[in-house]
Structure 1
Amino acid sequence: MPSDALPPSDRPQAPKSGQQKGARTSVLPKSAKRQRVTLDQMHARLLGVGMGFLVIYGAVALKATFATVLMPMAPEKRQIASQVPEIPKSDPHGAISGDFVLPSVKRATITDRNGQALAISLPVAQVYANPMELIDPEDAAKKLRQVLPQLDEAETVRRLSLKKQFVYIARDISPVQEIAINNLGIPGIYFEPGERRHYPLGRTAAQVMGGVDIDDHGVAGVERYFDQRLNSDRTPLRLSLDVRIQAVVRDELQAAQDNFSAIGACAIVMDVRTGEVIAMVSLPDFDANDFGHAPNDARFNRAVTGMYEPGSTYKLQTAAMALQLGVAHIWDKFSTIPIHVGRFKISDIRTDHFAPWLSLTAVMAYSSNPAAAHIALDVGAQRQQEWLRNMGFFDRVPIQLPEAGRPIVPSVRNWGISTVMTVGFGHGMAEPPLSIVRGTAATVNGGILVTPTLLSQAQDLNDTQPADPMLRPAAYKPTETQPDKLPEPVGPRLISEENSAILRRILRLDVTQGSGKNAESPGYFVGGKTGTAEKIGPHGGYLKHVNITAFTGVFPMNAPRYAVYVMLDAPHATAATHGWTTAGWIAAPTFSKIVSRIGPMLGMFPDTANAAAIDAALAISMDPAVPHGYRPLGPGNDPGDPRNAKTPPHAPLKRN
């Protein structure tokens, strides 16, 4: 068709200026152009929306990173933010009892003198619920029992159905159980962080450790005495106990209790120079982790709470006061003839092995009751009371145990002649065993009355001791020039060095030739005193053939360092004891076994090479010679003998 016949819009156009002839041009319809513009706009808009979502998701991710990794919120703040109901301080039944304060300080660890943990706190959780937020109490209880098998499902359903905002579900669950319960996703179930006291060594020093209540506050033993310190200072509390010595003493004491069928027993090891208690065992005992369910007899600490007539162990104090007061000398002789006081008779179990008159040294070795009564009469009631009071026998023994009891002593108004005599040989009053150990230490350490302590002297005592000076054992520090020198005893001097040296020889004599022969431990040069007392029955009278048998001793006597006390309550005779239930047959052998085993642990080894020389230096005669110029007490010179009323033994010869 000719171009002229075409419409103007469809006619071929002449090329524009500069455009080559024959070149092809792209000519698009207007509808196609509009479609392309629309697609470009859509792409731009989609890109904008994508960038927007990217920014939003980036912000969320950044916020989540800060909230969970870089700067997480504290658990307490999360609880407050989620409006969790407040937890009462202590109410296992779900009653709200006041404002709750989250624990900020955990209870400090308790260790022995070598750093062995005796009590530690473990992280636990308490599970509680807000029943008002629960959907299905029965389903919640069923799920909880899957993690806590010991849970009473019926009781839990009842508690979760209460119209309350707070009920406890379980206490002291482990972190693993806490995670498992949390993963159940039960609404209205919450956790309270806490801690549980644990005693890794179980029965070791159980009565000394004591226990804590449900709120982790001490209720007995050192846990109670140092409760404030343990809850305010995270530094471990280091005790004077040595768990190695404690274990050995318990082992030997348990064997003796079983062998002699005793109803109870106790033993103590104490440093005579510092007063540190190295071991304190009371049987029967219990697992400290089960304090709340332990029977009363097991929780009873016989070492400080039990009151027992000391028996002949008290004769050591009678001899000490007589020597120190100058009313008797080692060569003076005293009658062993039975003494009749009213309807009572003071006599010895057997007298066929010693003479009717004994020197003071022989009185101690053979443990004569009438002779000890005569010595006490020479001292007199007033001076006897003063001596015992100064020695601490009238007061509670100062030790960091709330259970320490007060001794049973006669009234001063009723302290007549019969009391003087009976107390002179260890009857008529009752003392805790630790008091006997303390008095024994004073007789051999140079005459110093030290204060027993359960704290290691290696730490600063000022931060752990009460204000009462009577309850603050004095710390010691070795001198810089002699760091290995034994610490000097700190306390009031009650006995002179000279008399203390005499008493050491007398105690050694009791083991080598007297009633304590079975306490000998070769190479350790032990000395001590036996003590047998009839047990008092429930109605106040003495029980015949039911004894308290004890032995108090020290080793080594050439350089006294450790006092050891052993007591068995109501032991029975065996074939090995030949029917006897006295201390020489029962307590003394146990003492020997303990010393032989703990000596090397304490860095002390038996010296057998120099045994003869050391024993010679410690020797004292059963019948000491009377020095020139002295008139001895004895037959014909007894100040109580009416035949000597006009010629007292003090004149004309010297008595002091």
Structure 2
Amino acid sequence: MNNKIDRFEIEDIRYNFSYNKKRSEIKIDFNRVAFIFFILILISIIFSIHLLHLGSRQSKVIEKNKNDLLISELYRADIVDRNNNFLVKTVRSIDIGINPLEIIDEKKLLLNLKYIFPEKNYEEVKKRIDKNKFFNFEKKISEENYEQLMKLGDKSIKPRESITRLYPQKNLFSHILGQIDDDNIGISGLEKSFDEDLKNRLEPLKLTVDTDIQYLIRKELEKYNEIFKAKGSAAILMDINSGDILAFTSLPDFDLNKRKQIIDKNYINRVSKGVYEFGSVFKTFTIAAAIDEKLIEPETVFTDLPKTLMCAGFPIREYDQKISPNLTAEQILIKSGNVGSVKIGQKIGVDNFKSFLSKIGILEKIDFDIDEVGKPLEFNWGKCPLATASFGHGITTTLIQLAKAYSIIANGGYYIEPTLIQKNNKNKKKRILDDETSKKVLKILRKITEEGTAKQANVSGYEIGGKTGTANKILNGKYVNKKVNTFVSVFPTSKPQFVMAVMFDETAINKDYVYHYRDGSGFKLKGTPRNTAGWTTVEATGQIMDKIGPILATKYLEVN
């Protein structure tokens, strides 16, 4: 009995133990497998999502790189003035083209376009559509118009990102900066001559010009263009020691933002491209050459000077028939004597005078930062050409070369090259004229504004010296009664730092203009007495100096 009970209990216990153990193992194995399976599924889902995300990002990056590549091919560096004011700024824009092959409903498309762009010529648009070739419909569209176009959902409308050159100063630097075409290629000015550099440089191209000074000079030129009914005018202001150009203005000019083709020759760049006879401003070169060759001194006296000389059957006359027959070399320049200048030129001789003019950069085409540069006309030297060149008749050059030559004469005789580009390197200057030549000529130029033909430019406080020049123009091979009036000034003459050359093309007298004399007398004169530089260009130069003088004194004039 006991044995049976024991066996039963043992078997019962074994049975219960065995059942419980088997049930427990089944439960544990199922939960573990389910958990692991769930984790694997979750990881797989996350990994798949990540892969899809990476793939999407990669395609976006590729697309972005394509767009960036497109923009980099059109990139151009900005251009700034010496004070880091923007003269040219590159911004991104959107152009719209139309592919006629993808147009579904032409009538509907044209109606929609007319609604958004009512000013366009849709007869011309229709003709271009009929050619079945892609064409540009609108450049630099606004965000508002872009959104309206995209809402149309027309696949034939093709937006394309491009760049736009903005010129914040509009007309102010048009002859310097120039323009680009629709393919981002420079076609004039610095945009052309620095085309590759602007496409590759990372920093803005920095110029030597001062926007404030340029503005003030241009404003005065515009004013006196109107007063003297000039066909055009020009001015250049330059540091005579470095060649840095602070202002470079030619009128008429044009708004660069409109990107129009300029075909009217009157829009010529009169500073560096226009080639002119400048008249008596060349007399300074005659005196300087003779002094530099040690042939004369300012005090050298010329006696019994005739009122008229004959050369190859043509008369050379004094402009002022009351001029004294006995003059020093200094007085010849102050009174702008023609015959006296011829006598000095004859002392110099053809070879020496030709060599001097070449040395100071008058005769050959100048090497400059922009391509719009004129070439002085060939001059056939001889005894009579020497005589006429001595007082600035028959010989030509450009206004920028005139400024360069005066700079060399005034800066101690050091050779310089005019530049629009600010440079950090300071090259050692080469002296080509005697320092004493500069000192002696400067004293004479100062007396011209004090007592000679340029008294209206004698602005108090700036020690301005200079020389006037009045020349008749040649049309169809003959001299006509149309004037080019020029004044080249240097200041301050005690310590020269700047040269400013101003010219007016085809001026006329003004019977109503009132001149306020600068001699302290308070005297006024109504009406232009003569159509000469002393009454036109000199007056404008004096007014320009009234405006820019304080800026120059504050920012640029060196303190002794």
TM range (shorter): 0.7 to 0.9
1:147 and 2:116 are equivalent in the alignment: yes
The equivalent of 1:588 in structure 2 is 538
Q: Distance in 2 between matches of 1:115 and 1:450?
A: 25
Q: 1:529 to 1:603 in 2, by over 3 A?
A: same
Letter aligned with residue 300 of structure 1: I
Q: 1:71 to 1:530 in 2, by over 3 A?
A: same
The equivalent of 2:518 in structure 1 is none
Contact 1:218 1:224 in 2 (8 A): yes
1:325 and 2:262 are equivalent in the alignment: no
Q: CA deviation at 1:550?
A: 0.7
The equivalent of 1:204 in structure 2 is 172
Aligned pair count?
Answer: 504
The equivalent of 1:221 in structure 2 is 189
1:432 and 2:398 are equivalent in the alignment: yes
Contact 1:196 1:216 in 2 (8 A): no
1:603 and 2:553 are equivalent in the alignment: yes
Q: Distance in 2 between matches of 1:426 and 1:60?
A: 87
Structure 2, gaps ≥5 residues long: 1-41, 512-525
Q: CA deviation at 1:192?
A: 1.9
* Larger Cα-atom Rg: 1
Q: Distance in 2 between matches of 1:348 and 1:556?
A: 30
Q: CA deviation at 1:143?
A: 2.4
The equivalent of 2:480 in structure 1 is 543
Q: Distance in 2 between matches of 1:299 and 1:218?
A: 18
1:561 and 2:497 are equivalent in the alignment: yes
1:289 and 2:257 are equivalent in the alignment: yes
SS in 1 for 2:158: strand
Q: Distance in 1 between matches of 2:85 and 2:375?
A: 32
Contact 2:74 2:162 in 1 (8 A): no
Q: 1:107 aligns with which of 76, 83, 89?
A: 76
More deviation, 586-595/575-584: 575-584
1:421 and 2:387 are equivalent in the alignment: yes
Q: CA deviation at 1:157?
A: 4.3
1:72 and 2:72 are equivalent in the alignment: no
1:340 and 2:310 are equivalent in the alignment: yes
Q: Distance in 2 between matches of 1:55 and 1:153?
A: 60
1:496 and 2:462 are equivalent in the alignment: no
Q: Distance in 1 between matches of 2:309 and 2:112?
A: 80
Q: 1:116 to 1:102 in 2, by over 3 A?
A: closer
The equivalent of 2:9 in structure 1 is none
Q: Distance in 2 between matches of 1:267 and 1:542?
A: 24
Q: CA deviation at 1:152?
A: 3.6
The equivalent of 1:526 in structure 2 is 464
1:452 and 2:418 are equivalent in the alignment: yes
Query: How big is each residue's C-alpha offset from its partner over 1:421-453, in whole Å with a ceiling of 9 and x where there is no partner?
Result: 100000111111111111111111001121000
Q: Distance in 2 between matches of 1:572 and 1:123?
A: 47
Q: 1:363 aligns with which of 328, 332, 349?
A: 332
Q: Distance in 2 between matches of 1:380 and 1:305?
A: 30
The equivalent of 1:116 in structure 2 is 85
Q: 1:278 aligns with which of 246, 249, 253?
A: 246
Letter aligned with residue 356 of structure 2: W
TM-score (norm 2): 0.83
The equivalent of 2:446 in structure 1 is 508
Q: 1:606 to 1:438 in 2, by over 3 A?
A: closer
Q: Distance in 2 between matches of 1:78 and 1:368?
A: 70
SS in 1 for 2:146: helix
The equivalent of 2:106 in structure 1 is 137
Q: Distance in 1 between matches of 2:51 and 2:115?
A: 36
Contact 1:519 1:592 in 2 (8 A): yes
Q: 1:64 to 1:133 in 2, by over 3 A?
A: farther
Contact 1:308 1:430 in 2 (8 A): yes
Contact 2:232 2:266 in 1 (8 A): no
Contact 2:208 2:420 in 1 (8 A): yes
Q: Distance in 2 between matches of 1:316 and 1:509?
A: 13
Contact 1:113 1:239 in 2 (8 A): yes
Q: Distance in 2 between matches of 1:77 and 1:505?
A: 65
Q: Distance in 1 between matches of 2:55 and 2:124?
A: 39
1:384 and 2:322 are equivalent in the alignment: no
Query: How big is each residue's C-alpha offset from its partner over 1:210-258, in whole Å with a ceiling of 9 and x where there is no partner?
Result: 1111112110111111011011113101111111010110111111111
The equivalent of 1:351 in structure 2 is 321
Contact 1:446 1:495 in 2 (8 A): yes
Q: 1:358 to 1:102 in 2, by over 3 A?
A: same
SS in 2 for 1:127: strand
Contact 2:238 2:498 in 1 (8 A): yes
Letter aligned with residue 192 of structure 1: R
Letter aligned with residue 139 of structure 1: K
The equivalent of 2:148 in structure 1 is 180
Q: 2:365 aligns with which of 396, 416, 423?
A: 396
Letter aligned with residue 392 of structure 2: G
Q: Distance in 2 between matches of 1:157 and 1:59?
A: 54
Q: Distance in 2 between matches of 1:577 and 1:365?
A: 24
SS in 2 for 1:173: coil
Q: 1:594 to 1:262 in 2, by over 3 A?
A: same
Q: Distance in 2 between matches of 1:155 and 1:67?
A: 45
Letter aligned with residue 251 of structure 1: K
Contact 1:285 1:298 in 2 (8 A): no
Q: 1:57 to 1:293 in 2, by over 3 A?
A: farther
Q: 1:154 to 1:589 in 2, by over 3 A?
A: closer
RMSD: 3.0
TM-score (norm 1): 0.71
Q: 1:605 to 1:402 in 2, by over 3 A?
A: closer
The equivalent of 2:514 in structure 1 is none
Query: How big is each residue's C-alpha offset from its partner over 1:553-576, in whole Å with a ceiling of 9 and x where there is no partner?
Result: 111111111101111112111234
Q: Distance in 1 between matches of 2:245 and 2:192?
A: 18
The equivalent of 1:618 in structure 2 is none
1:260 and 2:228 are equivalent in the alignment: yes
Letter aligned with residue 569 of structure 1: D
Q: 2:207 aligns with which of 239, 242, 253?
A: 239
More deviation, 574-583/112-121: 574-583
Contact 1:525 1:557 in 2 (8 A): yes
Query: How big is each residue's C-alpha offset from its partner over 1:480-501, in whole Å with a ceiling of 9 and x where there is no partner?
Result: xxxxxxxxxx543222111211
Q: 1:106 to 1:176 in 2, by over 3 A?
A: farther
Contact 2:76 2:200 in 1 (8 A): yes
Letter aligned with residue 388 of structure 2: T
Larger fraction in helix: 2
Structure 1, gaps ≥5 residues long: 1-53, 80-99, 459-474, 478-489, 615-656
Contact 2:225 2:232 in 1 (8 A): yes
Q: 1:599 to 1:574 in 2, by over 3 A?
A: same
Q: Distance in 2 between matches of 1:508 and 1:167?
A: 63
More deviation, 166-175/63-72: 63-72
Q: Distance in 2 between matches of 1:298 and 1:150?
A: 31
Contact 1:128 1:168 in 2 (8 A): yes
Q: 1:543 to 1:163 in 2, by over 3 A?
A: closer
